Chains A and B, each alone.
Chain A
């Protein structure tokens, strides 16, 4: 509860930093007890484990109880007049004018009115729930335990990250392809052999009369580079293949450069990704930089690239601008600016190490959320089992009511035996009072 009132994330997260700045008095305490990352803290993990253990114990207890109830239900099926006469919960005096058969008919009608449907077998009325009705709760608890364990194992095996891929670019599904990645300690990258390619990008894709938002078309490639699956990905239309789910998280622009020799031969190519930013002077900020070194490998400067955006009504238009230019900002190792150039498509900048940097293209890139999690089908399976178990627990009645007429020195009495475990339509006292009223007698007490 407390954690929901405090921003979650690392110290560098803007929301966390803002909160820390506005709550300087309690921030050290919050940080010390890990409340900014409450749901991955050791205390929380311990709580989850405690929940798993208590669920297991409860499941075990429910199973034992269900076995006992199932046994009682089986025994109840064999209830006869002799056993009921010997052992019953209450006796209800009956109107002497009623015959035994009439008493049973009246009792059956009264119980039916209370939602207890009885069957008549010789001289005995019996209402017995189905044996499966007692297994709902154990199934629910075991499924819940399976769910918790699957969640734990899934988090150990899972990998989830954000990967920026420019249109036309293919990236290997490997840790260093991601800008941000969370990987479980048991996730094995050596088993992952695939590539992800963005084939196209539609900033205003519409289908079914709904604006789907910026939509990339993504291809999943196998180890040999063969396309396994291609589709547009947008909310509620993720690309799924095996354990992999690809979802569009965000988008930005990409600037493609090539290194060209004085003779015009291309010696290398690089794609720089830029994000939109309302705070930036020209509307974009670089995500990373291009390092330029001399022939000896000594870093000379870092090249940062941004793309000037068009403006409309005073705001930046988050689209590829009409004028395709890139601003190249080179800074030295000391952080001082070496040069700043704005270049158009096909223009070149001479590099001090020789050769030229040429701007080839400006387009979109898609930031894809890529999740590799084998546990999701198992999670769904556990959830379905839990829901089935819970539905049985909630809907199915667990009760036994049996009755017969016995002759005593005080006249005929209805001997009733009942076990009302769960979801009974009525209570013991109500059954007793309604039967007493219907049979026009006076309840004369319990015998067991």
Chain B
């Protein structure tokens, strides 16, 4: 096991510890524990950045290729978005109980995948690669935070006895939380649109066609349209409350499926998250 991978395991350990601390902290109303959980998340992020930096220097390219690298980049964006948001607005900290498990599961999954470095091929040798992947990661980070806010919203609504609502009482009021969910969705929607746009431009440069109905392209569009529907039911049909929160939760799971599940399920020539060494 190389130093780079050991550091990544340390990052995963910190993320797992943060998740556990959030769960205990929220369940038993221990504020100090949720504060420590944020520090653990930040430490995990620092170790992950270190490991990714070492890998970038060694391979000469960013985390774009293969499941290990791309899942890692997604987790980096989720954790970075969350740590920055919670540090700026401590009232959001308890949402880590929903956000950090996403990071742990995704990073844990990537640790089981092949960690060998894939070379940049002729079709990938473009600055569009960085731009396209960066927007995908940023979009997923924003969607993960909307997911976290929506989960907390639903838990508070569903808390018939009020116990869970009390456990999340440090979080902003429900309407603020709902606004935050919508704002994170809006930000993710913008980044996802930019991912599709830059992908189309790059596909035209690399493959001579801007759109080919490749399963990943199609599912990216499906996810974008689903979020467009979310925004329209929110702003045009004035949906609010629990059903809007459920919409955000399901939409994020679909986004995750588009990024992680599609390359696993379909034999697509598109690099996406799961290049798995396919000829690109």
- Residues of chain A having any CB pair with chain B under 8 Å: 1, 3-5, 8, 39, 58, 61, 160, 208, 210-213, 234-236, 238, 245-247, 249, 369, 371, 376, 379-380, 383, 386-387, 390-391, 393-394, 422-424, 426-430
Contact = CB atoms under 8 A, between A and B. Distances in A.
A273 B41 CA distance: 60
A390 B176 contact: no
Interface stretch (B2-10, B110-118, B120-128, B155-163): B120-128
A19 to B, nearest CB: 12
B123 A235 contact: yes
Contact of A213 (B122, B183, B208): B122
A376 B204 contact: yes
A371 B208 contact: yes
Contacts of B262: 4
Contacts of B121: 210-211
B219 A4 contact: yes
Interface stretch (B99-107, B143-151, B186-194, B243-251): B186-194
A4 B120 contact: no
Given A210-B122, A383-B201, 5 more contacts: A3-B213, A4-B215, A5-B266, A208-B125, A427-B175
B122 A211 contact: yes
User: What's the dominant secondary structure at chain A's contact region?
Assistant: mixed
A422 B206 CA distance: 38
A424 B183 CA distance: 9
A424 B179 CA distance: 8
A236 B219 contact: no
A387 B186 contact: no
Contacts of A61: 236
19 contacts: A3-B213, A4-B262, A8-B213, A58-B232, A160-B209, A210-B125, A211-B121, A213-B122, A235-B122, A236-B122, A236-B205, A245-B204, A247-B207, A387-B197, A390-B189, A390-B190, A390-B193, A426-B179, A429-B176
A144 B53 CA distance: 38
Contact of A429 (B122, B175, B194, B232): B175
A275 B200 CA distance: 30
Contacts of B222: 1
Contacts of B215: 4
A430 B172 CA distance: 9
B95 to A, nearest CB: 17
